[in-house]
Amino acid sequence: MGKQNNGINGGYQGTVGTAIGYNWRGRWCTRSKPSATKDPCTTRQVAARGWFTASVQLASHMRLALRQGLHDSSLAQHMTEGNYFIRLNRPHLGWQDGALVVDYGSLVVAEGPVTPVHFGVVTSPEAHVLTATFSTDPADGCSAYHDTVHLFAYCPEAMQGVMATPVYRSAERVTVTTPRPWGDSEVWLYGWVQNIDGHCSGSVCLAEP
Classify 167 as helix, strand or coil: strand
pLDDT tens, residue by residue, 65-102 = 999 999 999 999 999 999 999 999 999 999 999 999 99
Answer yes or no: is pLDDT of 8 > 60: no
Tell which wins on pLDDT, 40 or 127. Answer: 127
Q: Going from the N-terminus, what domains does the chain have, and what CATH number goes with each?
A: 43-106 (no CATH), 118-207 (2.60.40.10)
Q: Average pLDDT over the chain, rounded to whole?
A: 87
**Global pTM value:** 0.79
Helix then strand count (H, E) for the chain reads 4, 14
How high is the pLDDT of residue 146?
85
pLDDT > 90 fraction of the chain, expressed in percent and rounded: 62
pLDDT tens, residue by residue, 131-151 = 999 987 655 555 677 899 999
Classify 69 as helix, strand or coil: helix
Task: State residue 36 phi and psi, 5-degree precision.
Answer: -65, 135
In 3-state terms the chain splits into helix, strand, coil percentages (rounded to 5) of: 25, 35, 40
How high is the pLDDT of residue 12?
66
**Euclidean distance between CA atoms 154 and 170, whole angstroms:** 25
Residue pair 190/198 in contact by the 8 Å Cβ criterion: no
Q: How many CA atoms lie within 13 A of 151 on its CB side?
A: 30
Tell which wins on pLDDT, 85 or 45. Answer: 85
Answer yes or no: is pLDDT of 51 > 80: yes
